[in-house]
Structure 1
Amino acid sequence: MLLTSYCLLMVPILKPMDLMVEASPRRIFANAHTYHINSISVNSDHETYLSADDLRINLWNLEITDRSFNIVDIKPANMEELTEVITAAEFHPHQCNVFVYSSSKGTIRLCDMRDSALCDRHSKFFEEPEDPSSRSFFSEIISSISDVKFSHSGRYMMTRDYLSVKVWDLNMESRPVETYQVHEYLRSKLCSLYENDCIFDKFECCWNGPDSAIMTGSYNNFFRMFDRSTRRDITLEASRESSKPRAILKPRKVCTGGKRKKDEISVDSLDFNKKILHTAWHPKENIIAVAATNNLYIFQDKVN
């Protein structure tokens, strides 16, 4: 009987599988936010970092997980009086006491933690004057800033709203020094974009290493790159075809009307379910990463 049971034992067959990467947290910083966290930024002192939600920004020590300091709080006593929310925040790359945060009203506040423990008063306030002639029902929605990024030099900062990217000089608060239209052809589509909630999409933006070019995402798995010195721009597409080894990305163009050329795509044919919200640029090399839905694409300018 015992011998029979031994004979029936089956040895498992080893089958090769794809490598899976699993992340495990080293520390968990909990119970400090009531709302969804929209930003995390590590300080240049390498000891602290900030986390931001819709109404508050907290300062953490990397070694202390159960306690943080509230440095910005815009929550009104009566929530019915709430007029704006925090949309993004980031530390200055070199000055550990300076950080910025943007709002849903299209404004940016620069704060200095040396002024007070609670930075309820900003050091600088950046806002572009609105043209009354162009105001519409969607003006406040599309002016909401979805991302803010300091340049690596610390001289400039970049903001992304729904239709454009703006570059600000930290020494000039009145208006941006550069404005780049990302997908201006969508202005005529704002009604339908509002109905399908795409108008509330939050696009990120990023600098290249020398701060000479910027990148941000769009719809139809398109992403845009702008050269700051020449003001030239290009639209590229992240797709399975372009991800093949040594494949060259071809510029794409969107046709807004009239006769469409062979290499153009009509604005009415854009797929708004395919969107690139997250982008990153290598700090030292010409390597970029774009996230398109559940796919991560990594491109570089040339392969040796």
Structure 2
Amino acid sequence: MELMVEASPRRIFANAHTYHINSISVNSDGETYISADDLRINLWSLGITDQSFNIVDIKPANMEELTEVITAAEFHPKECNTFVYSSSKGTIRLCDMRAQALCDQHAKIFEEPEDPSNRSFFSEIISSISDVRFSHSGRYMISRDYLSVKVWDLHMDTKPVETFQVHEYLRSKLCSLYENDCIFDKFECVWNGTDNAIMTGSYNNFFRMFDRNTKRDITLEASRENAKPKQVLKPRRVCAGGKRKKDEISVDSLDFNKKILHTAWHPSENIIAVAATNNLYIFTDKQ
């Protein structure tokens, strides 16, 4: 008989969310975790499945007054009283559970003021944060919006310390991306184990890696054609206009149905996993 692997739930934590859950984050105390949906964040004890404690609630009395939703939430990796959540308005709020039971009043808000020269119909949509992750050290966090990844220092909430453009060549394509709903795609972002590199996904099954020390970046492709074991991935380049070089791919021929939304990096080794539609690819360093 062929071995069949089946997952069965140990516990089911039910009846706490009205909307889709977008984040689950286990606390460093090993006893609690948070779950977040569009309007609320709940705190759970790992041992109690039938009740949770609501710690953030942004639901207005009149739903017609709703202006933003929660997009992601995560506990600090070391300080068990601290967590952050991001919003569709491009803000990240840092909350301290020691201050009060309901964390509607944030301790800090991280937000980059918009450059008026870049203002457009799509500004608010593309500034929505789809993912936020603390660094392993707990000193920094990364946030992913539609076109970029930003690195924030927890000691400085006025602007990010680093900004990496993921696919700036799509800025001229926002109109068609809005029409096909791709502009609402939610890309994840991750740190490597030493916090000096960042990875996130893009279209055409491309994924991007940024080195924080050298400021170099690379675009790689996860595809069935180059998925042979031990095969070295070739860097890919996108041509945004003008003459296209031999190895470049034109921005007009990118496939927006192929997208890498989910990425993961091994906590201590150079092993990454990327999910492209219904395929999971695992890549490792050259041995």
Query: Is the TM-score greater than 0.5?
Result: yes
Per the alignment, residue 212 of structure 2 pairs with 228
Q: Secondary structure at the match of 2:44?
A: strand
Which of 33, 52, 56 does residue 72 from structure 1 map onto?
Answer: 56
Following superposition, the deviation at residue 20 of structure 1 comes to 3.5
Residue by residue over 1:47-77, the C-alpha shift from the partner in whole angstroms, topping out at 9 and shown as x without a partner, is 0000000000000000100000000000000
Per the alignment, residue 280 of structure 2 pairs with 296
Per the alignment, residue 206 of structure 1 pairs with 190
CA RMSD of aligned residues (A): 0.8
Which of 81, 85, 92 does residue 108 from structure 1 map onto?
Answer: 92
2:199 is aligned with 1:215:
yes
Q: Report matched runs for 1:11-90 at 5 Å.
A: 17=2, 19-90=3-74
Per the alignment, residue 138 of structure 1 pairs with 122
Q: Distance in 2 between matches of 1:248 and 1:67?
A: 49
Q: Distance in 1 between matches of 2:206 and 2:117?
A: 30
Per the alignment, residue 129 of structure 1 pairs with 113
Q: Distance in 1 between matches of 2:13 and 2:187?
A: 26
Q: Distance in 1 between matches of 2:216 and 2:6?
A: 40
Q: Secondary structure at the match of 1:193?
A: helix
Q: Distance in 2 between matches of 1:115 and 1:259?
A: 58
Q: Distance in 2 between matches of 1:201 and 1:20?
A: 33
Per the alignment, residue 11 of structure 1 pairs with none
Q: Distance in 1 between matches of 2:246 and 2:163?
A: 30
2:221 is aligned with 1:237:
yes
Q: Secondary structure at the match of 1:245?
A: coil
Q: Distance in 2 between matches of 1:186 and 1:270?
A: 10
Q: How many residue pairs align between the two structures?
A: 287
Q: Distance in 2 between matches of 1:118 and 1:89?
A: 15
Q: Secondary structure at the match of 1:191?
A: helix
Code of the aligned partner of 1:278: H
Following superposition, the deviation at residue 259 of structure 1 comes to 1.9
Q: Secondary structure at the match of 2:281?
A: strand
Per the alignment, residue 261 of structure 1 pairs with 245
Mean CA deviation greater in 250-259 or 151-160: 250-259
Q: Secondary structure at the match of 2:262?
A: strand
Q: Secondary structure at the match of 1:141?
A: helix
Higher Cα radius of gyration = 1
Which of 154, 162, 175 does residue 146 from structure 2 map onto?
Answer: 162
2:155 is aligned with 1:171:
yes
Q: Distance in 2 between matches of 1:20 and 1:220?
A: 32
Code of the aligned partner of 2:83: F
Q: Distance in 2 between matches of 1:275 and 1:20?
A: 29
Q: Secondary structure at the match of 2:152?
A: strand
Following superposition, the deviation at residue 108 of structure 1 comes to 0.4
Runs of 4+ in 1 over 2 A off after TM superposition: none
Q: Secondary structure at the match of 2:155?
A: coil
Q: Secondary structure at the match of 1:188?
A: helix
Code of the aligned partner of 1:160: R
Structure 1 alignment gaps of length 5 or more: 1-15
Residue by residue over 1:228-265, the C-alpha shift from the partner in whole angstroms, topping out at 9 and shown as x without a partner, is 01100000000113321110000000011122122110
Code of the aligned partner of 2:159: R
Code of the aligned partner of 1:86: I
Residue by residue over 1:150-208, the C-alpha shift from the partner in whole angstroms, topping out at 9 and shown as x without a partner, is 00000000000000000000000000000000000000000000000000000000000
Which of 221, 225, 236 does residue 252 from structure 1 map onto?
Answer: 236
Q: Distance in 2 between matches of 1:21 and 1:285?
A: 26
Following superposition, the deviation at residue 302 of structure 1 comes to 2.1
Q: Distance in 2 between matches of 1:252 and 1:130?
A: 30
Code of the aligned partner of 1:53: D
Q: Distance in 2 between matches of 1:115 and 1:76?
A: 22
Mean CA deviation greater in 256-265 or 72-81: 256-265
The percentage of counterpart residues that share the same residue type is: 86
